[in-house]
Amino acid sequence: MKYFEDEEVLIRTLSLKDAEIITREEIAQGWDASIEKYKNRIRDEEEGKAIALVAIYKGQPAGYINVYINSEWGAFAHQGLCEIVDFGVLEKYRCRGIGSKLMDTAEKLAGNYNNKVYLGVGLHSGYGSAQKMYIKRGYVPDGSGVWYGEGVCEPYASCVNDDDLVLYLWKDLQEEKEV
């Protein structure tokens, strides 16, 4: 299904072929990547749990994002809110507006289900550009503190600054509509 299209970018449903290309590209740029992650996203879409999207830039898969409907994880689990999960743009396609178009599309889809959307962002420096982007887009911390893995990292508890150390942010989509 097609969700967005302009002169350079098409955003549509993620396919297995897209996932294979993205996985190869992520490995080539030094990321720890696995096709299984994408197969899970495609399966979740088939089961009606998520909307798995790919951005095609000038004919090539360049980025991805997923919208989980009534997400089962994180600060707003099982509260009827959509969660934006696993968002990325391949390094060679960055700074072309692809990430913003993916986020715009994800937020628009989430807005069909609820006026609020949330996401978890990693806290190490590899997430620095994402952290800045989310703040600029109006996301704010949910107030539950830092999470590690499946739960809140209790004060003074030990944790590792890896991909499982996240801060949950949310955004009121209704405020955008009113502006």
pLDDT recorded at residue 174: 87
Q: What is the rounded distance in angstroms from the CA atom of residue 26 to the CA atom of residue 89?
A: 10
CATH assignment at residue 10: 3.40.630.30
State the sign of the Cα–Cα–Cα–Cα dihedral 38, 111, 167, 145: negative
Residue pLDDT, tens place only, 78-121: 999 999 999 999 999 999 999 999 999 999 999 999 999 999 99
Domains of the chain: total:
1
Owning domain of residue 12: 2-178
CA distances from 24 to 38, 68, 71, 88 (A): 12, 25, 28, 14
| pLDDT one-digit tens code per residue, 133-164 | 999 999 999 999 999 999 999 999 999 999 99
